[in-house]
């Protein structure tokens, strides 16, 4: 199959809370197919690449610190329009504002102004997806 792919991360907060399975369940229930999956403790170097677009922003350093605080579950998903579709499943960036029914809305909350602790990452465009899949799954 040659349909669209997206890179999903269950972030350290989600992994720590045992939510990798719940995220994967929602992905599969939607009909997207996991084609690669790995538990990885990200390096600063890897995260600097992944979040290059945010370098210099006020939340950049705390974001990198948080993302390197423990293992993440990295998943490549596949399916027509899965980039847009997973972003819809994930919900708004701020887990307090994210609508119920979404991953962030149902499972996330604010723990002391730490908007970065929002359970999941999902690629936001075909270009980001290709770039990010290369960072997390260099052999794919």
The least distance separating ligand DAT from the CB of residue 124, rounded to whole angstroms, comes to: 6
Token reading at 117: 């602790």
- List the end-to-end C-alpha distance of the chain, in Å, as a whole number: 14
Within 8 A by CB and 6+ apart from 81, the residues are 4
Q: Which residue has the tokens 């999956």?
A: 37
Q: Does 6 bind ligand DAT (CB under 6 A)?
A: no
The least distance separating Mg ion from the CB of residue 63, rounded to whole angstroms, comes to: 10
Q: Residue 121 catalytic?
A: yes
63 binds, among Mg ion, ligand DAT, none (CB under 5 to 8 A by kind): ligand DAT
| Residues 108-127 within binding reach of Mg ion (CB under 5 A) | 124
Q: How many CB atoms lie within 10 A of CB 74?
A: 21
Applying CB under 6 A, among 5, 26, 50, 121 the residue interacting with ligand DAT is: 121
Within 8 A by CB and 6+ apart from 61, the residues are none
Applying CB under 6 A, among 40, 115, 128, 135 the residue interacting with ligand DAT is: 115
With residue 63 as reference, give the H or E element that holds it. helix 60-67
For Mg ion, which residue has the nearest CB? Answer: 124
Residues at the site binding ligand DAT, with contacts judged by CB under 6 A = 54, 59, 63, 93, 115-116, 118, 121, 124
List, by residue number, the catalytic residues.
121
């Amino acid at each position: 199959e040659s349909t669209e792919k997206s890179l999903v991360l269950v972030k350290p907060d989600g992994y720590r809370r045992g939510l990798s399975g719940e995220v994967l369940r929602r992905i599969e229930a939607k009909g997207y197919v996991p084609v690669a999956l790995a538990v990885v403790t990200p390096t600063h170097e890897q995260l600097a690449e992944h979040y290059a677009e945010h370098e210099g922003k006020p939340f950049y350093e705390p974001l990198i610190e948080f993302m390197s605080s423990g293992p993440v579950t990295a998943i490549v998903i596949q399916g027509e329009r899965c980039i847009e579709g997973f972003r819809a499943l994930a919900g708004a960036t701020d887990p307090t504002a994210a609508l119920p029914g979404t991953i962030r809305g149902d499972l996330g909350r604010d723990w002391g102004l730490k908007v970065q602790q929002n359970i999941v990452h999902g690629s936001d465009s075909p270009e980001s997806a290709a770039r990010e899949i290369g960072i997390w799954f260099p052999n794919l």
